[in-house]
Amino acid sequence: MTYEEVTVALHDAISKDDTLLIENLIAELQLADLAEFLLHETSEATLKLLTHLPLEQRAEAFAYLEHSKQAEIAEQMSEVGLTQLFTRMNSDERADLFNLLNEDRQQSVLRRLAKEEREDLRRLASYEEGTTGAIMTSDYVTVPAEVTVSKALEIVRQTAPNAETIYQIYIQDSEQRLVGTVSLRQLILAKPGADLDQLMTTDLVTINVHEAQEEAARKISRYDILALPVLDDHERLVGIVTYDDAMDVAEQEATEDMHKGASVGPLDESFGKASIFNLYKRRVNWLVLLVFANILSGAGIAFYEETIETYVVLVFFLPLLVASGGNAGSQASTLMIRGLATGDVGARDWGKLLGRELLVSVSLGLTMAATIAGIGFWRGGWDIAQVVAYSMLAIVIVGSMIGMSLPFVLNKLGWDPATASAPLVTSIADIVGVLIYFAIATSILNIGMA
């Protein structure tokens, strides 16, 4: 059965309270698909369906749910059931859930956990949101540096069942400092009596526990590794960030950048579940600020009122010209913001990129000017054709320069370059475009201003 067929049948089984059919249908779904189905169910129905799964699968399916959904379900679970769920979840996911609970529930869970689990949970939950420590897991395999291959394999067999990944084995010295890594493949193929310190790789890619989670995701992508070791300030191994966690961070950051690119503040929950007030609150600030910014465009038009009165035909081209500058600026800004976000370009590249963008914008402006000149000639003759052609060229060039430069300026000031969003760039380009257009028109048409 397809996913759609299973979900339709599952809804029917739920309405009939057919327990056996529910369990059979749930068994046909991948846990990620089950989580997608549960996303649209009530918290009560979700909790009831999860109880049809074995505890291990229940914990895995629960981890796929959105945090807001997890918090709702956790509040309805018994203390015993919630503690059982904690004991089966991966350490990083367990810490995330722990931070969603109120203080009373947190203390209740901690009292029921074994000492080692309790201390590990407290440590992982203590890291500041947005840092690498907040997304790392403590479920990994380590071996001492002085052991042989056969001893290392014995340790791996003992600890691997609780590890999130065993493709890389981390090697520590007597003070718990990370000194190297060895792959499981290397261990299996090496001679049993070989010393581990002769086999391990010491050229390590690591990250500090307090660094931003975006940097962890960037390193995993750049060096194409499955897991990134996380060190504390004393170079001791305290966790790893796995590839799937890095993908979640990358998705989250891409979403935030897209929201900023549209001048939308970060949402407290998913868009589909966001309240009307939350959506209003995250959008209104920038829109109000941009209203006041666009007043300057009106002031520019008022300043050139005599020019407009003399040549009313100029108004016909005004929206077209200023929109072209805004569009060109938005394109340049989007390319630059993404380049800075991926590390493709840096502040040191500003001069080179500005020069390249100037050549590109000149080419674009000439093309668009040639396109609009004919319409200008048809609407108002040769003089109007010159005005709109020169204005188009200048406005596209200036708009592109604004879009290219603004992310660099914000980055230099320590702000997020994504703040140089399309609405902001467009508003600035509109103001400048109005002034350029009517200044060129007044000059070419020899109109004296009052």
Mean pLDDT of 58-67: 87
Minimum mean pLDDT range among 208-217, 257-266, 375-384: 257-266
Q: How would residue 265 be classed by pLDDT, with cut points 50, 70 and 90?
A: low
Share of the chain above pLDDT 90, in %: 13
Mean pLDDT of 96-124: 88
User: How many CB atoms within 10 Å of residue 12?
Assistant: 12
Rounded to 10 degrees, what is the CA torsion of 12, 15, 20, 23? 70
Share of the chain above pLDDT 70, in %: 91
Structural domain span for residue 349: 271-444
Alpha helices (runs of H) in 89-194, residue ranges in sequence order: 91-100, 103-112, 115-125, 149-159, 184-189
- The domain tally of the chain equals 3
Half-sphere exposure of 189 (CA within 13 A, CB side): 6
Give pLDDT tens digits for 172-231. Answer: 988 889 999 999 999 999 898 888 888 888 889 999 999 999 899 889 988 888 899 999
User: How many CB atoms within 10 Å of residue 223?
Assistant: 9
169 three-class SS: strand
pLDDT for residue 424 is more than 80: no
Whether 216 is in a domain gets the answer yes
Mean pLDDT of 129-154: 90
Q: Which of 225, 252, 279 is the last residue of a domain?
A: 252
47 three-class SS: helix
pLDDT for residue 449 is more than 60: no
Q: Which residues contact 174 (CB under 8 A, 6 or more apart)?
A: 144
Whether 259 is in a domain gets the answer no
User: How many CB atoms within 10 Å of residue 60?
Assistant: 19
Cβ-count burial of 294 within 10 angstroms (0-12 exposed, 13-18 middle, 19+ buried)? middle
pLDDT for residue 88 is more than 60: yes
Pair 137, 230: CB distance under 8 Å = no
pLDDT for residue 324 is more than 70: yes
Q: Using CA atoms, how far apart are residues 76 and 44, in angstroms rounded to an integer?
A: 8
Dihedral angle sign, alpha carbons of residues 31, 37, 39, 43: negative
195 three-class SS: strand
Q: What is the structure's pLDDT at 450?
A: 42
CATH number at residue 159: 3.10.580.10
Pair 268, 278: CB distance under 8 Å = yes
Mean pLDDT of 354-358: 88
Q: What is the structure's pLDDT at 206?
A: 93
Q: Using CA atoms, how far apart are residues 7 and 37, in angstroms rounded to an integer?
A: 7
Q: Using CA atoms, how far apart are residues 238 and 135, in angstroms rounded to an integer?
A: 12
**What b-and-e string marks burial along 334-356, b requiring 16 or more CB atoms within 10 Å of the CB?**
bbbbbbbbeeebeeeebeebeee
Tell me: do 157 and 91 sit in the same domain.
Answer: no
Cβ-count burial of 450 within 10 angstroms (0-12 exposed, 13-18 middle, 19+ buried)? exposed
Q: Which residues contact 14 (CB under 8 A, 6 or more apart)?
A: 22, 45, 49
Tell me: do 426 and 277 sit in the same domain.
Answer: yes
Minimum mean pLDDT range among 129-143, 290-304, 348-362: 290-304
Q: How would residue 71 be classed by pLDDT, with cut points 50, 70 and 90?
A: confident
Whether 137 is in a domain gets the answer no
Q: Which of 103, 129, 155 is the last residue of a domain?
A: 129
Packing angle, helices 382-412 and 314-342, rounded to 10: 30
pTM, whole model, 2 decimals?
Answer: 0.66
Whether 264 is in a domain gets the answer no
Tokens of 277: 């007030």
**Could you tell me which residue, 275 or 142, shows the higher pLDDT?**
142
Q: What is the structure's pLDDT at 272?
A: 63
Whether 261 is in a domain gets the answer no
Tell me: do 419 and 310 sit in the same domain.
Answer: yes
Minimum mean pLDDT range among 169-173, 321-325, 422-426: 422-426
Q: How would residue 393 be classed by pLDDT, with cut points 50, 70 and 90?
A: very high
User: In which residue are the tokens 């895995």 written?
Assistant: 60
Report the mean per-residue pLDDT for the chain.
84
Tokens of 39: 């996303």
Whether 377 is in a domain gets the answer yes
Tell me: do 41 and 163 sit in the same domain.
Answer: no
Tell me: do 248 and 319 sit in the same domain.
Answer: no
Whether 328 is in a domain gets the answer yes
Whether 370 is in a domain gets the answer yes
N residues, the chain: 450
Q: Using CA atoms, how far apart are residues 202 and 242, in angstroms rounded to an integer?
A: 20
